[in-house]
Structure 1
């Protein structure tokens, strides 16, 4: 038994490391190109690109439809059954194809109706295409099987090559559409290699599904979809609202997007840990390991946030250029979100799912989204809508998630001793 647990933990560590490489590589390449982009594009054009990315995040959530959680758990539970794994894989990819087609029609309709968007139609179409192609990468399959090595190495190498295109060809603000174009090319090549690997190395191919299997897959994933919509709403909706109020090309939007991008990159540092723990915890329920990880992560994160808050203006100026010095004020207000993120992630699906309380992970994010929307509405009605007040409401909504999950875990803490491995 001890040897089995040791093997499982070794697999968890390896899977976590490669998930870090895969997930954080995208943010890392983005981070090293962001200073170059901000200096070439300036706040106005950088804000325009950021607005397009924020808008497309809605469509990315629709296309993914929570499969990164529901399908990962299903694959993990049936990994020894090749036929069922093929069924899950086929159903998810078919569902994503249907949702992509519907999303594209909605996007084109919106761009046709709204003149502000119609003027930049190529930007929105290219950004949508890059996001849609990325959504088809079978991350759920590799996470569920806990075999991330090969797909990670190839994907990172391909992304690194196409990131070079940004430095080679982006030379003028009017070339802002190069950002989604090169992202699309990198994602497309990565997807091609991933599909070849799934088909010829993992021997998982598309199969004919039984009647009702596809519909049932979508139905089972719907709670995760609403949860992820709610969890992402603050980040996407904030940029979207600012773009509508100040226009996508305004300096205000550009400043906020720059700060939010750095916060998002910092948050992404914890995503691989939670993502790799999720299938592991579903299968092994090792709460003792989970508590140990939390206690090791939180102290350095809190200290780092305090230090960054003290030098927020200088950091923004150093990383993004002097034009973004004032964005440090926005970054400083948003930093509590980074400090809360490890606990929010760990007390979510990695903890609540093996406890049999996954519905509360979904419910907490929905409640947080309601708090965010009520806060935004209040700011508009009272005439107090500013970037600072928007950031404050965002911090409050994220704290709501943490508080709710902490209360649920504490009230059901007896489950830990019942389900911890011996």
Structure 2
């Protein structure tokens, strides 16, 4: 299969993956926003946002750091098995650490402890998601496998939730449905990986330490993303309550913007292994030009029709949330450029450290800004959204500057 066909095929399957993760999810969240009160919907949104931090701890950025290794060594079965073994055992170790940290936080913060059942169940689901060996299938550019299990998992989650959740009384069944669906996905994915001849052996602690050390910057980068995505919800929860109208609105509009931004992920993920191997910056240039135009049009449509979008997707209770959505659309617009100026642009020229470093910088600014608002008792939903919208602007500035500075490293073809 030639390069263009392989990229097109992988992009196609990753779009189906995105459809299952987010647009099938958009069938679930409008349902939940209608059958649950705004406050309980906010609790679900808060829990999923907060637990994302622990999912990133377990994932440790392996989907980026080891994808490149698998891509380069895919024909060396022994090396691939060593990488997969080290990653899986590393994730098991990180899962234990995550559970310990969560238990400590739940004792420290009443807003977590008072909702321990719901948040704890979402923690279990996040660990199951993080254990998925997607790094392997991305590395061998076999996106079809990831897509099949994702569609099955998401469909099962939605089906169970729709059948059993009808009011606030059944809220606990929402994370349980996620656990069942994602457990099925985990089993299917491991079976498919084993059919490819991959074997997991006993842990080698020196290799695990090496793997964790080499992936540390990617871990910091991915953890920073999850912290940045969660910090607004966290401080709103501190100032109001995890079950508040403010959290309900934030949960609703972030589901909309996240679904849109995830349209970019299939393209980024499918070209990343190709860019690492081929350094095809002509392809990347076309994506910037044509993709940027399409993205601008899409963001503009949502911005202008924000109230209608909220009403259609989330229900009449959220019809006045359009102004809040418009603020977040600024962040979504810059997401296109921050993503493609990141790993696809900088990794092939050996400057992935700039892509990694940009995210902690943006996150520190985000956290400090929210902390200052909290100290001065000045937290409002609008101010939190404005701070959130700075994230991708900062990323574009840092990553774009690095790419421009080292543009001379791009191979002349």
TM-score normalized by structure 1? 0.94
Partner of 2:280: 286
Cα 1:368/1:114, change in 2 over 3 Å = closer
CA–CA distance in structure 2, aligned partners of residues 101 and 404 of structure 1: 34
Partner of 1:245: 239
1:21-420 aligned at under 5 Å gives the runs 21-199=16-194, 201-208=195-202, 210=204, 212-416=206-410, 419-420=411-412
Q: What is the CA–CA distance in structure 1 between the aligned matches of 2:164 and 2:278, rounded to whole Å?
A: 49
Cα distance in 2 between the residues matched to 1:79 and 1:340: 34
CA deviation map 1:10-39 (0-9, x unaligned): 212211221222243111221111111000
Aligned counterparts of 2:32 and 2:186: Cα–Cα separation in 1: 25
Task: State the shift of 1:203 in Å.
Answer: 0.7
Q: Distance between the aligned counterparts of 2:17 and 2:255, measured in 1?
A: 18
Contact 2:89–2:203 (CA under 8 A) maintained in structure 1: no
Does the 8 Å CA contact 1:127/1:180 hold for their aligned counterparts? yes
Q: Does 1:7 align with 2:2?
A: yes
C-alpha change, 1:208 and 1:383, in structure 2 (3 Å) is closer
Moved more, 90-99 or 376-385: 376-385
Q: CA 1:20–1:178 in 2, change beyond 3 Å: closer, same or farther?
A: same
Deviations 1:268-294 (A, max 9, x none): 111121112211111111011011111
- 1:145-182 Cα shifts (integer Å, max 9, x gaps): 10122342243134313311111111111211221110
Alpha carbons 1:87, 1:209 under 8 Å: kept = no
Instruction: Give the SS at the match of 1:241.
Output: helix
1:96 shift after superposition: 0.5
**1:18 counterpart = 2:13:** yes
| In 1: Cα distance, 2:230 partner to 2:338 partner | 18
Deviation of 1:126 after TM superposition, in Å, equals: 1.1
- Deviation of 1:108 after TM superposition, in Å, equals 2.3
After superposition, the C-alpha distances for 1:168-224 in whole angstroms (9 at most, x for unaligned) are 11111121122111011000011111111111x201010245551110001101100
- 104-113 vs 38-47, greater mean Cα deviation: 104-113
Stretches of structure 1 that go unaligned for 5 or more consecutive residues are 1-5
Hey, what's the Cα distance between the residues in 2 that align with 1:407 and 1:216? 31
Name the SS for the 1:207 alignment partner: coil
Q: Tell me, yes or no, if the aligned pair for 2:239 and 2:379 is still in contact at 8 Å.
A: no
Deviation at 1:130, TM superposition (A): 0.9
Matched residue count: 413
**Per-residue deviation, residues 72-103 of structure 1 (Å, max 9, x unmatched):** 11111111111111111011110111111121
Deviation digits for residues 369-416 of structure 1, max 9, x if unmatched?
Answer: 122123223333454422112111222232011011111111222222
- In angstroms, what is the RMSD of aligned CA positions? 1.6
